[in-house]
Structure 1
Amino acid sequence: MQKFKRGSGLAFSNPTIMYKYSLFFLFLLATTVSYGQELKAVYEYLLSPIATFREEVYFQNGVKTSVRDSLPQLKPQAPNSSEEELSGSMSVTLDMGKTYRNIIIQKSNAPQLVETRSFKGSNYLVSDEFPPLAWNTSYTDVDTLGKHICHKATVTYRGTTLVAYYTNDIPVPAGPYKFGGLPGLIVMLYNEGANPHYWLLKEIEYPYTGDVPVNEKYMNALPKLSLESFIKKEDLETEERMRMMMSKMPLIEGVTVERKKVRGSVEQVYEWEKN
């Protein structure tokens, strides 16, 4: 029998009914939180003043997927264009008419991520034993970037220092490339050094109700390599190109050219290179 208590709404004397209603409301709450966490963010990734990538980041069910075009496109010279506008399409068609994109799939709190990489015309599925990011969020810096109030955070990552500005307005622990884990969405990120790389948030859909445009079946069919194996293949190729270039340069008696390995990314020193 249902009992009514004045001023407090409907109550139930049957524990079974109360238990079922409790489960229903917990499920509803979990569904609402999960739906609210789904997000699509578009970043502009700048390598130089004249070239940029478009990078789309999706966050659904605790999984972050980053999709970046494989090569940059020159930014059009449009002096009257708005800062909020994105540069044009930057997808690149490779041999056989296929479009290659760098894709990263990363589960929250998982020690490993997978990504697609291309080497000498072949695509690979590369596994990365991603190191945990120990962000320092103790800064008092607060800046307004676009429409968002942002807080500063820094972290040391594979030989560089990253500086991020994240917003609590969007409580999703996501960001561009392999980065995230902050209390809110990363709005801007760059690495300190002589050749900084910048990621700037340009568009956002939150919550996001669409699909993630990734063919995981194709990805899983690619040849598989560890990140260490893939980087060593790249380094050998780079060393061979440098050797050939140096062999064509005239020798100057008494002058020695010292070569220092500098990678064109935010990843300068990997874990296996420290040993």
Structure 2
Amino acid sequence: MKYIIYLLFPLLTFAQEKAVLITYKAIYNTELPTTKDGYLYINNNQKKTVYFTEIIDKTDEEKDENVDIKVRLSSGKKGFNYFDYENDSLITRDDIFKESQLIKEKTPNFSWNLTEEKKIINDITLLKATCYFRGRNYIAWYSTSTPIKAGPWKFQGLPGLIYEIYDETRRYNWLLQKVESSTYDFDSEYLNYKNFETITIKEYAELKFNNKNLDKKLIAKLPRGAKIVSQKFFRTGFEIKFEWEEETKEED
């Protein structure tokens, strides 16, 4: 893979509106395989970052051979991950059964394990790091030669830019495509969560995985005359087990 790097941070100190744009290729080997571009914007002092993926118009978001209709589970609103490091906060917009939610949490701790393993791609030395985060084991390849400490989705905390990261099952993969100068409005209405209701990460997990009203909501969305022959519920997504659940397991 040929990485394209147009310029680095030292050249971007002359204007508040300037930012670095890092484009990733997001490859999801899920029940409905998807490949799309992800965009990471980083402001000049690296105190704010915004990551989102392109919206791909699909007829279906979930399909099962035992379900005789197709259900769209997206709200249609663009999701994002917005880090405000000065306020130690991460705001995520995500969908829970067609309902868009703003989730607020503190900057997650990935507890990276830095290794001495290296690989060189296009004359760029990448270092390997691993971590366990919310139910998945991740492998990251990063470079300390680029003065950017960030990555796609919620990934951060490494001493360099993440060029490649994936979970051990290769279900979720991100590959850096290019780095370039750009502009971005980090104070836009799109990111102004202060005027809207937010929920905690724990409330998000409860709504997504322990919602007793989910069956009723699902049935209410079905076309007239449709029925579900059988139901399979299992946790899926980037985050499938949370810190408080791990703590409860250890106490038991």
Structure-1-length-normalised TM-score = 0.63
SS at match of 2:204: helix
Distance 1:121 1:172 in 2: 35
Distance 1:168 1:238 in 2: 47
Distance 1:46 1:119 in 2: 21
Counterpart code for 1:234: K
Q: How does 1:254-269 map to 2 (within 5 A)?
A: 261-263=234-236, 265-269=237-241
Match of 1:224 among 189, 194, 198: 198
SS at match of 2:156: coil
Distance 1:57 1:169 in 2: 18
Deviates more, 1:144-153 or 1:32-41: 32-41
Deviates more, 1:176-185 or 1:43-52: 43-52
SS at match of 1:233: helix
Which residue of structure 1 aligns with residue 116 of structure 2? 140
SS at match of 1:231: helix
Q: How does 1:105-254 map to 2 (within 5 A)?
A: 105-108=82-85, 111-137=88-114, 139-146=115-122, 148-193=124-169, 196-205=171-180, 208-212=181-185, 214-216=188-190, 219-235=193-209, 236=211, 240=215, 248-249=229-230
Distance 1:147 1:262 in 2: 40
Which residue of structure 2 aligns with residue 81 of structure 1? none
Query: Which structure 1 residue ranges, 5 or more long, are not aligned?
Result: 1-30, 75-93, 250-256
Which residue of structure 1 aligns with residue 6 of structure 2? none
RMSD (Å) for aligned C-alpha atoms:
3.7
Correspondence 1:273 to 2:251? no
Deviates more, 1:118-127 or 1:153-162: 118-127
Structure 1 residue 162 displacement after superposition: 1.0
Counterpart code for 1:186: I
Distance change (3 Å), C-alpha of 1:209 and 1:130: closer
Structure 1 residue 123 displacement after superposition: 2.4
Distance change (3 Å), C-alpha of 1:73 and 1:212: farther
Distance 1:238 1:202 in 2: 41
Give the number of the structure whose residues are more often helix, by fraction: 1
Give per-residue Cα distances to partners, 1:84-113, cap 9 Å, x unaligned.
xxxxxxxxxx88xxx621111113476431
Percent of residue pairs bearing the same amino acid type: 18
SS at match of 2:13: helix
SS at match of 1:35: coil
SS at match of 1:57: strand
Structure 1 residue 144 displacement after superposition: 2.5
Query: Which structure 2 residue ranges, 5 or more long, are not aligned?
Result: 1-8, 60-73, 220-226
Structure-2-length-normalised TM-score = 0.68
Distance 1:73 1:146 in 2: 35
Distance 1:175 1:226 in 2: 23
Asked if the contact 1:135–1:182 (Cα under 8 Å) also holds between the matched residues in 2, the reply is: yes
Asked if the contact 2:83–2:89 (Cα under 8 Å) also holds between the matched residues in 1, the reply is: yes
Distance 2:204 2:21 in 1: 29
